[in-house]
Amino acid sequence: MTNRAEMMDTLVTTKWLNQHLDDPDLVLLDCSVYQAPEDNGGFHNVSGRAKYDDGHIPSAGFADLKGKLCDANSPIEFAVPTPEQFCTAMGALGVGDNSRVVLYDINYTAWAARVWWMLGYDELAAIVGGDRNARPINYCGGGIMASANAFIMTRLGFINVAVYTASLQEWAVDPSNRMVVNTP
């Protein structure tokens, strides 16, 4: 049994995970999303569920950012679900008040960072830092890479780090919102 007094760092190694994989309070979640190319040269995001079903780390559940972990009624991709929907989805994955959660994805950890941010990162790890309390706000196209930036800033000791969850997907559609566009 794991000693709850032994705090888990916000980054763990595969060696640590292997040693703790059978801990009853540990919940391991694959958060993968893939980008599929389109004929017009663009791309669209696809749930990583099919690849998860093909194989994943033993005991890992699947946190579906294109399914139960987004608001399907929103026109904004990856919109955060209601707190009730989120709690229901995370509870179904085994996450509770006394859980230690390890998140991963197959790509560049931005998807795992998104779920980390949704879980309320300030309650998942103790943050120590100097005078890094400037309240930085991270944004991007849809809040995914902004979550990865927030994770990194938290690791660096910044506090009160915010993520504009809908980011430019929401901001850019309203012509009354100001935006500077640099052109070559």
Could you give the CA distance from residue 42 to residue 86 in angstroms, rounded to a whole number?
30
Q: Is the pLDDT of residue 100 over 60?
A: yes
Asked whether residue 145 carries a pLDDT value surpassing 60, the answer given is yes
pLDDT (tens digit, 9 = 90+) per residue, 23-78? 999 999 999 999 999 999 999 999 999 999 999 888 999 999 999 999 999 988 99
- 44 forms beta bridges with 36
Q: May I ask the CATH class of domain 14-128?
A: alpha beta
**Of 169, 51, 64, nearest in space to 114 by CA:** 64
**pLDDT of 124 above 50:** no
**pTM score over 0.85:** no
Please list, in sequence order, all residues whose beta carbon lies within 8 angstroms of the beta carbon of residue 168, skipping any fewer than 6 positions away.
Answer: 139, 140, 141, 142
Asked whether the predicted pLDDT for residue 155 surpasses 90, the reply is no
Q: Residue range 124-137: average pLDDT?
A: 44
Return the pLDDT at 38.
94
Distances (CA, A) of 2 to 10, 20, 22, 26, 124: 17, 8, 10, 9, 16
Q: Where are the domains of the chain?
A: 14-128
Contact 144, 110 (CB under 8 A): yes
